[in-house]
Structure 1
Amino acid sequence: MEATISHKILICLGSSCHSRGNAENLKIIQDFVKERKIDSQIDFRGHLCHEMCNRGPVIELDEIVFEEVTPSNLPTILSKHFDKATCI
């Protein structure tokens, strides 16, 4: 039985968010999804821009927007969000 997409991750790849840390956050998210083997359940996309450049880096998890996401706080954000989700 094949898993269906049940979660959405959007990462802003606009120049401001990218230069403020989303370049590194991209890799962290990819590793998180791969380590947990949930890639078949995640729609993971880059996008340009939430118009929140002054509050970036910005990511969105299942329509919840997170601002000022850093490589140090991203693992906690991902774990808290997806530990509550049915995919883990």
Structure 2
Amino acid sequence: MLKLSVCIGSSCHLKGSYEIVQKFQKLIADNSLEDRIELKATFCMKQCQNGVSVGVEDEICSVSPETAESFFTEKVMPKL
């Protein structure tokens, strides 16, 4: 199962982490991936300066609400 983590710490929360979690939840459901992706919220990933931190397995990336869908398609889906 692929682990997808979204930081919900103070800095990332202010930059839209809740919206990103909602988008990822919808994309997972729309693609029937509930049994293949474990989406979880996490606290600080120590990347506050880079925007909302999203972990895909062991890689930490910067994502915004505007780039969440393309990130999911380009970075998450190929790892399945």
TM-score computed with the length of structure 1 as normaliser: 0.82
In structure 1, what is the Cα distance between the partners aligned to 2:8 and 2:27?
Answer: 18
* 2:69 corresponds to 1:71: no
RMSD between aligned residues? 1.2
Instruction: For residue 78 of structure 1, report the CA deviation from its aligned partner.
Output: 0.5
Residue 45 of structure 1 corresponds to 40
Inter-partner Cα distance in structure 2 for 1:55 and 1:81: 17
Aligned residues: 80
1:12 aligns with 2:7: yes
The offset of 1:66, in angstroms, is 0.8
Separation in structure 2 between the aligned mates of residue 7 and residue 37 of structure 1, nearest angstrom: 14
Aligned mates of 1:21, 1:55 — CA distance in 2:
13
Q: Which runs of 5+ in 2 are unaligned?
A: none
Task: List structure 1 runs of 4+ shifted beyond 3 angstroms.
Answer: none
Query: Which ranges in structure 1 are unaligned for 5 or more consecutive residues?
Result: 1-5
Correspondence for 2:22: 27
For residues 15-54 of structure 1, what are the alpha-carbon distances to aligned partners after superposition, in whole Å with 9 as ceiling and x for unaligned? 1101111111110000010000001111111111111111
More strand by share: 2
In structure 1, how many angstroms separate the alpha carbons of the residues matched to 2:3 and 2:38? 5
Aligned identity (percent) is 20
